[in-house]
């Protein structure tokens, strides 16, 4: 095992950290950075070796994720690594225009997952998070004081970590979820999707394209570095198992059926066949142990929401764990992680599942429903706004207490503050931001939660709502 970890010994055993995170994927990396930045002692246990893979899974970073990265000072660094896409073309007749999004980032950034991971890992390391590689978690046990984590190294050596809280961000086959005995109910949605990163001789005229036709559907998305992520599915080969070999010829045939051309694809740097499940764990929290990212929910890659949803889970959980460990909030604040994130996970399962099922439609009734659905989405602005809000993540709203101001639970809109910064620049300190007149008083419980480090500032221009913004960029309280 490589990496170091500080240990403190208490009467309850060996405490390696306040929080142990299992898994150094995007979810675990963002969470590790947030906790370390808040001064929490955090150790990340990762079964892979330290070398960062240059194979990518996700390639789409949506607007809300870019806002979250902006609140950590990372968005402007990530954007040059990819390509900005403002049109999402779903099927031949349905197109979503992102250029009018009420966000600093009115586009989908197409960039490989490893670029996101690289920035998040650097930030977590800079803030002092400890990474331990070649460390496979094999068991998790909890008692009233903390959680014990069993770890096995590549050469079979065992060790034990102990922490106040543990987060399982260990992906779809989560060992933490299994150790908790949590079910992962759901179903398989689609099998035998062929996926590759290829170069093209001629590019499609659309920047992001999904098309169905002749018993197949395919999608093509540019990475920004010359390569395209191309994937597809052929009804006639839908029962082939994941481990059956595939080839560029198989993918060429699918894309020709769906698009009428294979665009001269060549030089694949990666090709694979995979299937997609739709599953969600019922409880994101079991005592002192939390599940986040793919460990908590999995769905088809349609809509490109997997990595984005995991990053939003981490964005929600980090500041809550920090506030509880800091004594500013009771343990019950952590229950709001389930209350806020589980419904979002369910909605993502539903929307990505709908896209895949519509793409696979083949009988006349299903095809007519697809045509009608496309027309409705193209014509009805509110329906289109809702779809765009869900896919980009900016439309999600957390439940607010009865009688709250309409802004409570919504994502805070960026704006310029009296000190010249934007709100999302002020959030980079990881604290609550109270944008309010000098004499504004917060309710006592919120004042305690926001703590003495709460940033108090006013909007530069008159007319902006008075609001308390949580460190994750959602409105906790508003007035006026
Ligand atoms: C082929 C493919 C294509 C995809 N395309 C897209 C896409 O276009 N858009 C999108 O948004 N999403 C896509 N996804 C999904 C996306 O990659 C995931 O949603 C995202 O990686 C989830 O991040 P995570 O951090 O939650 O989990 P992961 O990225 O899976 O990270 C989990 C980490 O935990 C580690 N780990 C696992 N078990 C243990 C253990 N017992 N002990 C210690 N460490 C452990 C793993 O090594 C891994 O590093 C795709 C997935 C696949 C497979």
User: What is the C-alpha separation between 204 and 255, in angstroms, rounded?
Assistant: 11
User: What is the C-alpha separation between 138 and 383, in angstroms, rounded?
Assistant: 46
Whole-number average pLDDT of the chain: 89
pLDDT attached to residue 4: 37
Evaluate: CB of 361 within 6 angstroms of ligand 1. no
Evaluate: CB of 353 within 6 angstroms of ligand 1. no
Q: Is the pLDDT of residue 5 over 50?
A: no
**Atom in ligand 1 nearest the alpha carbon of residue 304:** 9
Provide CATH 3.40.30.120 ranges for the chain: 398-480
Average pLDDT over residues 62-89: 94
Provide CATH 3.50.50.60 ranges for the chain: 8-59+112-184+281-348
Residue among 3, 25, 290 whose CB has most ligand 1 atoms within 8 A, to mutate: 25
Evaluate: CB of 34 within 6 angstroms of ligand 1. no
DSSP annotation string for 337-370: HHHHHHHHHHHHHHHHHHHHHHHT--SHHHHHHH
User: What is the C-alpha separation between 40 and 35, in angstroms, rounded?
Assistant: 5
CATH topology of domain 186-278: Alpha-Beta Plaits (3.30.70)
Evaluate: CB of 291 within 6 angstroms of ligand 1. no
Q: CA angle at residue 196 from 191 to 197, to 5 degrees?
A: 155
Evaluate: CB of 448 within 6 angstroms of ligand 1. no
pLDDT band at 258 (very low <50, low <70, confident <90, very high): confident
Q: Do β-strands 158-168 and 17-22 pair in parallel, antiparallel, or remain unpaired?
A: parallel
Q: How many A from CA of 386 to the centre of ligand 1?
A: 27
Q: Which residue has the higher pLDDT, 93 or 21?
A: 21
Q: Which residue has the higher pLDDT, 206 or 147?
A: 147
Q: Is the pLDDT of residue 372 over 90?
A: no
**Atom in ligand 1 nearest the alpha carbon of residue 59:** 8
Q: What is the CATH number of domain 8-59+112-184+281-348?
A: 3.50.50.60
**Burial class of residue 95 in the structure, from the number of CB atoms within 10 Å of its CB (0-12 exposed, 13-18 middle, 19+ buried):** middle
337's tokens? 């992680």
3-class secondary structure, 37: helix
| Contact call for residues 1 and 89 (beta carbons, < 8 A) | no
Q: What is the CATH number of domain 398-480?
A: 3.40.30.120
**Atom in ligand 1 nearest the alpha carbon of residue 294:** 26
Evaluate: CB of 59 within 6 angstroms of ligand 1. yes
- Nearest residue (CA) to ligand 1, atom 14: 58
User: What is the C-alpha separation between 361 and 107, in angstroms, rounded?
Assistant: 28
- Residue 196 β-bridge partners: 230, 271
Q: Is the pLDDT of residue 218 over 60?
A: yes
Q: Which residue has the higher pLDDT, 87 or 78?
A: 78
Evaluate: CB of 294 within 6 angstroms of ligand 1. yes
Q: In whole angstroms, what separates CA 250 from the centre of its chain?
A: 31
68 Cβ contact list (under 8 Å, min separation 6): 30, 311, 312, 315, 472, 473
Q: Is the pLDDT of residue 99 over 50?
A: yes
Q: Which residue has the higher pLDDT, 216 or 149?
A: 149
170 Cβ contact list (under 8 Å, min separation 6): 22, 23, 25, 28, 137, 176, 177, 295
Evaluate: CB of 47 within 6 angstroms of ligand 1. yes
User: What is the C-alpha separation between 447 and 183, in angstroms, rounded?
Assistant: 38
Which stretches does DSSP call E strand in 76-168? 83-85, 87-90, 94-97, 108-110, 130-132, 135-142, 147-153, 158-168
Q: How many A from CA of 175 to the centre of ligand 1?
A: 13
pLDDT band at 395 (very low <50, low <70, confident <90, very high): very high
| Contact call for residues 49 and 58 (beta carbons, < 8 A) | no
pLDDT band at 2 (very low <50, low <70, confident <90, very high): very low
Tens digits of residue pLDDT in 437-471? 988 899 999 999 999 999 999 999 988 889 999 99
As a whole-number percent, the residues of the chain with pLDDT over 70 amount to: 89
Q: How many A from CA of 336 to the centre of ligand 1?
A: 24
How many residues are recorded in the chain? 480
- Nearest residue (CA) to ligand 1, atom 53: 57
Q: How many A from CA of 121 to the centre of ligand 1?
A: 15
As a whole-number percent, the residues of the chain with pLDDT over 90 amount to: 65
Q: How many A from CA of 222 to the centre of ligand 1?
A: 21
User: What is the C-alpha separation between 209 and 96, in angstroms, rounded?
Assistant: 11
Evaluate: CB of 164 within 6 angstroms of ligand 1. no
pLDDT band at 385 (very low <50, low <70, confident <90, very high): confident
225-239, 245-259, 429-443: which has the minimum mean pLDDT? Answer: 225-239
pLDDT band at 12 (very low <50, low <70, confident <90, very high): very low
320 Cβ contact list (under 8 Å, min separation 6): 329, 333, 334, 336, 337
Q: How many A from CA of 346 to the centre of ligand 1?
A: 18
Please count the CA atoms within 13 angstroms of the CA of 276 that sit on its side-chain side. 24
**Atom in ligand 1 nearest the alpha carbon of residue 27:** 25
Average pLDDT over residues 55-74: 92
Q: Do β-strands 94-97 and 147-153 pair in parallel, antiparallel, or remain unpaired?
A: unpaired
Provide CATH 3.30.70.2450 ranges for the chain: 186-278
């Amino acid at each position: 095992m490589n990496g170091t970890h500080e240990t403190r010994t208490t009467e309850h055993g060996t405490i390696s950290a306040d929080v142990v995170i299992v898994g150094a994927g995007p979810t675990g990396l963002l969470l590790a950075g947030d906790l370390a930045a808040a001064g929490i002692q955090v150790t990340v246990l990762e079964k892979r070796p330290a070398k960062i893979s240059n194979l990518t899974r996700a390639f789409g970073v949506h607007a809300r994720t870019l806002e979250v990265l902006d609140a950590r000072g990372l968005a402007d660094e990530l954007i040059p690594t990819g390509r900005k896409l403002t049109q999402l073309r779903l099927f031949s007749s349905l197109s979503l225009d992102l250029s009018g999004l009420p966000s600093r980032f009115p586009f989908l950034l197409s960039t490989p997952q490893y670029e996101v991971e690289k920035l998040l890992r650097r930030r977590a390391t800079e803030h002092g998070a400890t990474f331990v590689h070649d460390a496979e978690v094999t068991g998790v046990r909890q008692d009233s004081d903390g959680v014990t984590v069993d770890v096995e190294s590549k050469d079979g050596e065992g060790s034990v970590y102990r922490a106040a809280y543990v987060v399982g961000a260990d992906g779809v086959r989560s060992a933490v979820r299994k150790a908790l005995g949590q079910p992962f109910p759901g179903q398989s949605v689609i099998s035998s999707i062929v996926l590759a990163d290829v170069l093209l001789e001629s590019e499609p005229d659309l920047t992001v394209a999904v098309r169905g036709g002749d018993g197949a559907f395919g999608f093509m998305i540019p990475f920004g570095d010359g390569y395209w992520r191309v994937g597809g599915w052929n009804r006639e080969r839908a029962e082939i198992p994941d481990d059956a070999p595939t080839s560029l010829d198989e993918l060429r045939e699918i894309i020709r059926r769906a698009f009428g051309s294979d665009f001269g694809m060549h030089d694949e740097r990666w090709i694979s066949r995979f299937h997609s499940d739709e599953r969600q764990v019922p409880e994101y929290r079991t005592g002192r142990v939390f599940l986040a990212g793919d460990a908590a929910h999995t769905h088809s890659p349609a809509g490109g929401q997997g990595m984005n949803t995991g990053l939003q889970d981490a964005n929600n959980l980090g500041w809550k764990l920090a506030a509880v460990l800091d004594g500013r909030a009771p343990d019950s604040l952590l229950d709001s992680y389930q209350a806020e994130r589980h419904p979002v996970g369910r909605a993502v399962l539903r929307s990505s599942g709908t896209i895949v099922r519509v793409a696979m439609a083949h009988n006349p009734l299903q095809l007519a429903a697809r045509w009608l659905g496309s027309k409705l989405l193209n014509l009805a602005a509110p329906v289109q706004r809702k779809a765009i809000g869900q896919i980009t993540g900016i439309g999600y709203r957390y439940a607010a207490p009865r009688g709250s101001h309409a802004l409570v639970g919504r994502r805070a809109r960026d704006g310029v503050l009296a000190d010249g910064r934007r709100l999302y620049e002020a959030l980079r300190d990881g604290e609550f931001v109270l944008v309010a007149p000098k004499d504004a008083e917060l309710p006592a419980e919120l004042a305690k939660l926001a703590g003495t480090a709460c940033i108090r500032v006013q909007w530069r221009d008159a007319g902006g709502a008075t609001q308390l913004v949580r460190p994750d960029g959602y409105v906790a309280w508003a007035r006026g």
